[in-house]
Amino acid sequence: MRWLLALGLLALPTFPSAAQVNVIRHDDRISVEIDGKPFTELFVKGKDVMKPYFHPLRSASGKIVTRLFPMKVVEGESHDHPHHRGLWFAHGDVNGYDFWSADPSRSSPKLGRIVLEKVVETKSGKKQGRLRVRFAWQAPDGTVLVREDRTVVFRADPKLRILDLDFVLTGVKKAHFGDTKEGTFAIRIADSMNERHGGTLISSTGAKGEKNIWGKRFPWVDYYGRVDGETVGIAIFDHPENPGHPTHWHARGYGLFAANIFGLHDFYHDKSLDGGRTLAPGAQWRFRYRVVIHPGDPSSAGIAALYAKYARHQ
C-alpha cells in the first residue's frame, strides 16, 4: 500500500511555489507578475521585435505608465515615433547602423537588429524575481557586432515597482558607438503623464522641463503626471559606476526620457565635440540603471533618498 501511495503522490501535478514575484517564460516573451497581478512583459522574439522591449509597465496600483502605441492603437493616443516601444536599450549609430530606430514600420538598409540568443535564467521569489538574457546586436547582413548580457531584477514593494537593469556589452567586432542624441536607455511614458498634458519632468537638482533637462547631466531624472485620476511617476537612476556618470539626458516634453552618454555634439550644439566611443573586440562596457515607478511626485515618494541608498549600496 505504501508503494501505491508513493506512486499516487508522484503522479500528482506539480505547481510552482507561491511567490510575490513570478517570472514566466513564454516562446516570444517573458512575463512578470507581482502579487498575482501583471507587471510587465519583455518581448524578445517575433517579426515585430527588432529590439527587445518591456511593455507595458504598471504602477503598484495597476496604472499603465508607458504609452501603448504602436503595440496597441488607442483612440486619442499619440502616434509619433513608433520605434518608442515601452522601455528599451539601443543606440542610433553603431558602425553606422541604427538600432535605436529599428522598427517594422521603417524600411532602411541601415537598420540593425537586436536578436535573442539565449534565455539564461528566469527565477521567481517571494521578494524579487530575476531574468538573465543574452542578445546579439546584428548588422543587416547578420554580422554580430556586439553581444549583450542583460540581467533584470524585479523587486516587490507594496507601493513601488522597482527594476534593476544590468547591461554588459562585449565587443565582437570593433564597434563604434557614434555621437548621436538617438540613444540609449529609454522609456516612453503614457501620454497623460507628459509635459504637453500637464506632467512634470524634473531632475535630481530640481531643474524642471525639457528646456532645462535635455542634454544636461544628472544622476537621476523623474517624469510624473496623471493616469486615470492618479498621480504616478517614473524615475531613472544612473549608477555611479556607469561610463560617463552622471549621464546626459535625451528628455522630451512629448514623453520620451533616455540616459545617453554619447550625444555630445547634439546636446551642446557643437560639432567640434565627439561623444562617440569604440568598443574593441573582447572589451566590455557595463551599464546599470534602476527604474522606480512610484505614486505621487518624487518628493512625496522620497526619490532623492532612494537614489542615495541605491548609490551607496550598489
Which whole number is the average pLDDT over 187-197?
Answer: 98
pLDDT of the residue at 17 = 45
What is the fold, at CATH topology level, of the domain defined by 21-313?
Beta-galactosidase; Chain A, domain 5 (2.70.98)
Residue 314's pLDDT band, with cuts at 50, 70 and 90, is low
Contact 72, 56 (CB under 8 A): no
Please report, for residues 56, 105, 147, the alpha-carbon distance to residue 46 in angstroms, rounded to integers and kept in the order given: 17, 14, 19
Contact 290, 163 (CB under 8 A): yes
| pTM to 2 decimal places | 0.93
Q: Tell the residue number behind the cell numbers 502616434, with chain if given.
A: 79
Torsion over CA of 121, 123, 129 and 131, rounded to 10 degrees? 10
Chain segment 276-285, per-residue pLDDT in tens: 999 999 999 9
pLDDT at 290 over 50: yes
- Residue 222 in grid coordinates: 523623474
Which whole number is the average pLDDT over 98-113?
Answer: 96
Whole-number Å distance between alpha carbons of 32 and 45? 16
Whole-number Å distance between alpha carbons of 160 and 61? 9
pLDDT of the residue at 51 = 98
Instruction: Output the CA angle 160-303-285, nearest 5 degrees.
Output: 90
Which whole number is the average pLDDT over 174-194?
Answer: 98
pLDDT at 13 over 60: no
Residue 19's pLDDT band, with cuts at 50, 70 and 90, is low
